[in-house]
């Protein structure tokens, strides 16, 4: 299969072709030529006038299978990722059984072979994600796990976090520590703010997150190792992580696209699609997150894609489950808040953090590319949802830019 991308505007700051417009010829999955003008002779597929970057990576997705196939199967989840512009997704252990052993990691890897995108399992940090004893971390690493964390569950035991950070250094592992003190959170369901009081909903204080971030960074400074703090949501968390990076600690962090787009003011309609963890914060915190995207404190964005069936969402706000889908909306949201070069960096830098093979766009390398256009806008509607579950908070929102397709693993997907 020969694919020719005509007049490709290349965005890859590690490539000598960065910010240039070139023709790119791909033959049998390999970029064989990049030049000013390439003939269309003997070409099977021609794509014209698109932006091209390294394939995007999402550091936090849930697909349900095994155990929750009614929410999302691995097959449909992978297809959703591809059409959304992602060639790599890190799959959380929100499954039944929990991904806490090598066999479970291999199941995810084997079930997702043959797609354009590649799935990278995140192994549970603790057995059954119960927070009591470390899972089989080394075995899972040897099976293909790229990091270890209990999805949406903080590590309550300080010593367990210390031991985990020390242990994974033996094989270059990364610990993911979700920052939320469940005792301080209590029965909270939204941001602790005046809006929560007006709505009569129990609040989740910013302190619940910030105490965990402070603790995690203190333990990391003591132990060394690699730590990732996912989906931060407050200005204080940004400040703490910025200080830790200035000290030289090996820490990264991410933010979910809904936490940079919405404030807690949208909760007035009691729409449970806005019930997320961490909660949507007030304007001051959201603006701090947006600034942290621009200055590099936040390393990458994530959709934090979590499909949930209607039975879990169609309830009173207090009783509905936390979580929304976001793969389909990710580019159209982040593209609104930073310049295009920064948007691409935020969508690709998880590749480097989690050890996903990445080479600068050049000749004689395997093609692993996302094709897109940053111009134009559209209203996100129900027909734009590709997931099996429909729990999107972005319905009716204006998204900027469009994903054209992806090329990877000697295959391609081009959107209509």
Give the pairing of strands 411-414 and 398-408: antiparallel
Q: How many CB atoms lie within 10 A of CB 197?
A: 10
250 is catalytic: no
Strand partners, 276: none
DSSP string, 62-103: ---TTT-TTT--HHHHHHHHHHTTEEEEEEPS-SSS-S-SHH
Q: What is the biggest distance separating any 2 CA atoms in the chain, rounded to whole angstroms?
A: 67
Structure tokens at 321: 């489950």
* DSSP state at residue 338: S
Cα–Cα distance for residue pair 308/63, rounded to 1 Å: 10
User: Could you tell me if 99 and 88 are in contact, meaning their C-beta atoms sit under 8 angstroms apart?
Assistant: no
365 class by beta-carbon count within 10 Å (0-12 exposed, 13-18 middle, 19+ buried): middle
181, 264, 299, 304: the catalytic one is 304
Q: Which residues are catalytic?
A: 304
């Amino acid at each position: 299969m020969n694919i020719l991308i005509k007049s490709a505007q290349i965005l890859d700051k590690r490539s000598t072709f960065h910010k240039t417009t070139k023709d790119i010829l791909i033959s049998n999955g390999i970029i064989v030529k990049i030049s000013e003008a390439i003939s269309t002779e003997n070409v099977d597929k021609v794509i014209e006038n698109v932006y091209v970057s390294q394939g995007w990576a999402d550091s936090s997705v849930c697909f349900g299978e095994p155990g929750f196939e009614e929410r999302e199967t691995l097959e449909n989840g992978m297809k959703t990722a591809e059409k959304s512009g992602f060639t790599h997704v890190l799959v959380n252990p929100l499954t039944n059984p929990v991904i806490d052993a090598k066999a479970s990691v291999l199941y995810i890897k084997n079930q997702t072979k043959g797609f354009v995108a590649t799935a990278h399992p995140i192994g549970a940090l603790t057995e059954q994600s119960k927070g009591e004893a470390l899972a089989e971390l080394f075995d899972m690493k040897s099976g293909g796990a790229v990091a270890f964390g209990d999805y949406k569950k903080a590590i309550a035991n300080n010593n367990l976090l210390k031991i985990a950070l020390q242990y994974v250094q033996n094989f270059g592992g990364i610990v993911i520590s979700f920052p939320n003190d469940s005792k301080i959170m209590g029965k909270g369901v939204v941001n602790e703010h005046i809006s929560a009081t007006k709505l009569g909903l129990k609040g989740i204080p910013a302190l619940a997150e910030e105490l965990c971030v402070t603790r995690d960074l203190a333990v990391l400074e003591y132990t060394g190792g690699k730590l990732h703090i996912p989906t931060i949501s407050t200005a204080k968390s940004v400040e703490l992580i910025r200080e830790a990076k200035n000290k030289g600690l090996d820490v990264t962090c991410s933010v979910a696209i809904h936490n940079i787009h919405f404030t807690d003011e949208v909760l007035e309609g009691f729409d449970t699609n806005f019930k997320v963890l961490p909660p949507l914060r007030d304007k001051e915190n959201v603006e701090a997150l947006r600034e942290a995207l621009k200055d590099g404190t936040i390393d990458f964005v994530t959709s934090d894609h979590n499909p949930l069936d209607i039975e879990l969402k169609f309830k009173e706000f207090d009783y509905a489950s936390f979580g929304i889908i976001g793969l389909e909306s990710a580019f159209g949201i982040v593209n609104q808040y930073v310049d295009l070069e920064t948007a691409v960096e935020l969508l690709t830098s998880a590749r480097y953090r989690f050890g996903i093979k990445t080479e600068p766009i050049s000749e004689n390398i395997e093609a692993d590319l996302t094709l897109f256009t940053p111009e134009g806008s559209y209203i996100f509607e129900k027909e734009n949802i590709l997931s099996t579950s429909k729990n999107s908070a972005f319905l009716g929102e204006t998204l900027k830019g469009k994903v054209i397709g992806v090329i990877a693993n000697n295959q391609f997907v081009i959107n209509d």
